[in-house]
A and B are shown apart, each in its own frame.
Chain A
Amino acid sequence: MKHTLRQIFRSSNFLLGFIIFTFLLLVVTIYPILIKHPPLEIIGQGTFFQPGVYVNVYDSISAPKYILNLSNAAANRISNRLGDEERQDMKTWLIAYGVPEDQIDIVDTAKLLDLWMNSYDPNLMLPGMTYAKSQFYQRLDASLEGILETEGVSIAVANPQTGALEERQFIQQSEYVNIDQVANVRVLLLGTDNFGRDVLTELVKATKVSLQIGLVAGTVATLIGLTLGLLAGYIGGLMDDIIMFVTNLFTVIPGFVLLILISFSIGQEHRGANTIAVVIGFTSWVWTTRAVRAQVISLRNRDHVNLSKLSGHSVLHIILSDILPYIASYVVMAFILQISSGILSEAGLSILGLGPRTTLEPTLGLMMNWSLIYQAEILGKWWAYFPVIVTIALITFSMNLMNTGLDQVFNPALRE
């Protein structure tokens, strides 16, 4: 046993798969301990907030201020609001308006703005310009207002009696707050999804649920497959004929179609994560049955089994101690593959809208489904779908690497 384990871990494929998988498991266990946000809490009002650090504006007003004289602050401020694209757009408008091209300098902000302020007229419709485009220029013009100001802004509160504004604070352009001293800061490493939920927290939870689904589906499939395979292979005769008939039937009927039919029939209210997992298990035992049966048939007439029979051991004893140990490696390999294909099946089902019920727990497939429904891929909101795909790919990749590694150890023909 110890020798086998050492041999398994010497296989680079297995080791790499094992490391990836352990890493995923660690993240799934440790993350919820450190960060206790509920995974499906809707925090964002609106869809698809960008990944980043979100600092409360109100709290940062009352946080202690520090003066930092940074030379590039003004330049950063301008380029944040007036990027290269906007400058090009302004140039296009100015050329269309009739300013000679050599007079436009888009690098010198002050000159460009000066030219813009003198020429731009929001009511003027230039020939050949669409309504949407002229609307765009009106918005651009409005956003440029006050861009070159060097004064700060004042924070005022309306007096409840008179309604007059009373100045609370005056904020200089060179004032900073330390982010640690702001009461409310939320780090959204992967932004928010279409419902305004924290994608990272949701993803960790979803990975956990999906792994559970894979585990349950794999266990169900392996148990059914193992039992049927042992019965068919060892007992043989009529039992073998019946089991093989059913197995052949389900080999040919596409499992995915069956899965769609069953999930659809269960109905929305009854589709919990576990139900889906069991259904997936019930539709994917065929391969294990075939593999186990073939192995058992080749073992059935070996000398040690015959010896055991002659010694009067019971069928159960023979199966447990003389047959199972010989096929254990195959069963483990099949189990690993069942887990990964179970996770993929769940994802496929969820994309079809037949996944687990949506309000309780996220799964990787459901996250994919939600982001597809809200067209995250077309809108370029990569954080809503890409991490999900990567996670699924990592899970299945690691499982298959482990499987390939085991195969190389136990199957002498593939040994290098």
Chain B
Amino acid sequence: MVTTPPEVATLPPNSYLNSEYGLKSWLLTQDHKRSALFYLFATTFFFVIGGVAASLIRLELLTPAGDLVASDTYNKLFSIQGIIMVFFFLVPVAPAVLGNFLIPLMIGARDVAFARLNLFSWYLFVTGGCLDLYMMLFGGVDTGWTFTTPLSTHYVNTNVVAAAMGSTIWKTAAFAPESAHVPYEPNTRNQSGKCDSYHPKIHP
């Protein structure tokens, strides 16, 4: 007579219950909540930069004369404000911070579908952000956040390439997988066994 061992519930080898607290465990984490915190810190950092630029613009506009910053600096300020706020705050903040943290919990999944890809997205975000920080520190850009041609290609001599690369690396390479895995979760990663009608309606 063949005896089969009874089935027991097993935890995945790595989860938030047994993860460590060192730097390495954070930087290589596959925990969606840790990824969400990474995004929270990074977007807050960029939000502050964008906010400083916005404050300088408003201070300059206190009087009609250009008495706080020169014309070229003013143009760079509103370009930096637009680029940082659009690409590094507004676009990622809701889906990457709240989406990463809350949606797996809301639908009862153990984690996001592609935890490594999720983390990789954040590293691309940081890479793009570093390029834009480099752009700001070494001369700025004065095209506005839309990089309108032919102004950006023929008529300015600022760091257009770095600025556009930084924004595009994050926008296309990272945001695409980041947003792609979230909608799959409600159907494919539901671990709770709850009836579907109890789930919050999610439209990422």
Query: Real complex partners, A and B?
Result: no
- On B, residues with C-beta under 8 Å from A are none
| Residues of A that sit less than 8 Å from B by CB | none
